[in-house]
Structure 1
Amino acid sequence: MNGFTGELIGTAILIVFGVGCGANSNLKGAYGKGSSWLYLCLCWGFAVAFGVYAAGQFGADGHLNPAITLGFAAFGFFPWSKVGAYLLGQFIGAFIGALIVIIQYWPHFQIAKGKDDGNVINIFATAPAIRNPLFNFLGELIATFTFTFVLLNLGDFTQGLKPLVVGFLITVVGQGLGGTTGFALNPARDLSPRLAYALLPIPNKTSADWAYAWVPIFGPIVGGILAGGLQYLLH
């Protein structure tokens, strides 16, 4: 239960800050509308860092990400007995985080009349800069592989300053590899907020783009597992 609770709380914090930055940079009337890519990468970096800190305080390992949990477990770096609780906490936490952002920005959704006013799925989930399913999938795979491999070599990344190191790692992954797909890196971070956008009665919303949703689910999972495999071979 500690793992479930920690992953739920940590992932909810991750989404509140990360998706909140997306809403601030997109929605009509928000002070941050039109913010830069660097702003978004830093926001997501710090969102992950503070989510990891919180998860660690509740006894979790601070994965906040099914790709990390599965990638670690596939080669013995994390016990399979905990995987179910971690995944459940991550997906539920991400949905709760998205719900909180919807409440926070409700008046802005009310005046944002669709795509032209920034009321788009990009607030909640990722979308490709150039739609090419094969290369979008490879982009998510490569970005998540790189991220996961570094995490595997950080040891316990919930302690001391290491969550901030993870945050800066997210930022540089976004800056270097995220310009093609928006660097989901995380199936829960993408799927649960996308589901919240699709299911909840948000005013003036546009398409949730379910045709693309498989890319930020399976690309990160494959990338995480491959990183775990390489770590296993090297050690």
Structure 2
Amino acid sequence: MSSSDIFLGEIIGTAVLILLGGGVCAAVTFKTSKAHQAGWVAIAFGWGFAVMTAVYMTSHLSGAHLNPAVTVAIAITDDLSAADLFTYIAGQMIGAILGATLVWLAYYGQFHAHLTDRETVGGPGTQDTRTATGPGPVLGIFSTAPEIRHTWQNLTTEIIGTTVLILAVLTQGLNDEGKGLGPIGALITALVVVSIGFSLGGPTGYAINPARDLGPRIAHSLLPMPNKGGSDWSYSWIPVVGPLVGAVLGGGIYNAVFA
């Protein structure tokens, strides 16, 4: 596959992944959404279906990595040039920012209503509309955050979840060019994402994908939303470093045990 196919495929695939995944988070979050308070089951399945849709849509173009951790793991276990590695990750980051922007456009009215409601900013019964310095009231639609802030535990959770994902991807078998999943592997991996969400998503929101977290976090910081609060940059390194460490561990385990 050509560099342009890789680049465009990863932009489109990652944008669709974030649009549908971030979209389900928005649907569950906003009280003016028909899916309000649908819960964690809806979010886990929503992200799994987002993975499935994006992989099937773009696997013939780029192999549909859609995740720098997957790209790094494939580079460890297969022949992937440094140029292709950069092309994949650049496409994934652009696609993630684009996908998050599309979520904002799709739910524009809900974002505006949520963020201009004084109760969501200063708390019930207050008139406090000051911009928050910590995580903003809609940041969870864009990126992840831990339920308990404990650096090594949060990092470890992301490493474990990503290692499971990487082993699932690699053991499903790559396509003929060794760049991505075959049709059955794509479906199984989507279900693995649902399983990770159910089992390991509770502590941190299971980024398990640096682009999935960092790209939308950048979009959150740039989009013109009133009273949006901070983008929680102090936490942002964990859903980047954790998945990359998990990618190396997963690729190493695959090489040692399965290859």
1:40 partner amino acid? I
Superposed CA deviations along residues 118-176 of structure 1, whole A, max 9, x for unmatched, are 94211110000111011000000000001101111111364333322111110001111
Q: Is the 8 A contact 2:11 2:96 kept in 1?
A: yes
Give structure 1 stretches of 5+ with no counterpart: none
Specify the alignment match of 1:10 in structure 2: 13
Specify the alignment match of 1:83 in structure 2: 85
Q: Is the 8 A contact 1:65 1:189 kept in 2?
A: yes
2:192 partner amino acid? L
2: CA distance, partners of 1:138 / 1:160? 31
Give structure 2 stretches of 5+ with no counterpart: 125-135, 175-179
Specify the alignment match of 2:161 in structure 1: 143
* Greater alpha carbon shift after TM alignment, 162-171 vs 213-222: 162-171
Q: Is the 8 A contact 1:145 1:227 kept in 2?
A: yes
- Out of 148, 162, 168, the position equivalent to 2:191 is 168
2: CA distance, partners of 1:222 / 1:160? 27
Specify the alignment match of 1:216 in structure 2: 239
Q: Is the 8 A contact 2:173 2:182 kept in 1?
A: no
Matched, 1:153 2:132: no
Q: Is the 8 A contact 2:169 2:181 kept in 1?
A: no
Q: Is the 8 A contact 2:100 2:219 kept in 1?
A: yes
1:16 partner amino acid? L
Specify the alignment match of 2:133 in structure 1: none
**Alignment coverage as a number of residue pairs:** 234
Question: SS in structure 2 opposite 1:63?
Answer: coil
Specify the alignment match of 1:32 in structure 2: 35
Query: What is the Cα deviation at residue 110 of structure 1?
Result: 1.1
- Out of 249, 252, 258, the position equivalent to 1:226 is 249
2: CA distance, partners of 1:153 / 1:125? 28
Specify the alignment match of 2:56 in structure 1: 53
2: CA distance, partners of 1:191 / 1:101? 15
Specify the alignment match of 2:177 in structure 1: none
How large is the Cα RMSD of the aligned pairs?
1.7
2:68 partner amino acid? P
Specify the alignment match of 2:210 in structure 1: 187
Structure 2 CA distance for partners of 1:46 and 1:208, relative to 1, 3 Å: same
Matched, 1:133 2:133: no
Matched, 1:99 2:107: no
Q: Is the 8 A contact 1:141 1:219 kept in 2?
A: yes
Q: Is the 8 A contact 1:53 1:158 kept in 2?
A: no
Normalised by the length of structure 2, the TM-score is 0.86
2: CA distance, partners of 1:210 / 1:175? 26
- Out of 22, 25, 49, the position equivalent to 2:25 is 22
1:137 partner amino acid? L
- Out of 57, 65, 68, the position equivalent to 1:66 is 68
Q: Is the 8 A contact 1:109 1:204 kept in 2?
A: no
Query: What is the Cα deviation at residue 27 of structure 1?
Result: 1.7
Superposed CA deviations along residues 78-123 of structure 1, whole A, max 9, x for unmatched, are 4433101100110000100011111111111111134569942111
Question: SS in structure 1 opposite 2:203?
Answer: coil
Query: What is the Cα deviation at residue 77 of structure 1?
Result: 5.3
> Hey, which bits of structure 1, 4+ residues long, moved more than 6 A?
none
2:90 partner amino acid? L
Q: Is the 8 A contact 2:12 2:95 kept in 1?
A: yes
Normalised by the length of structure 1, the TM-score is 0.94
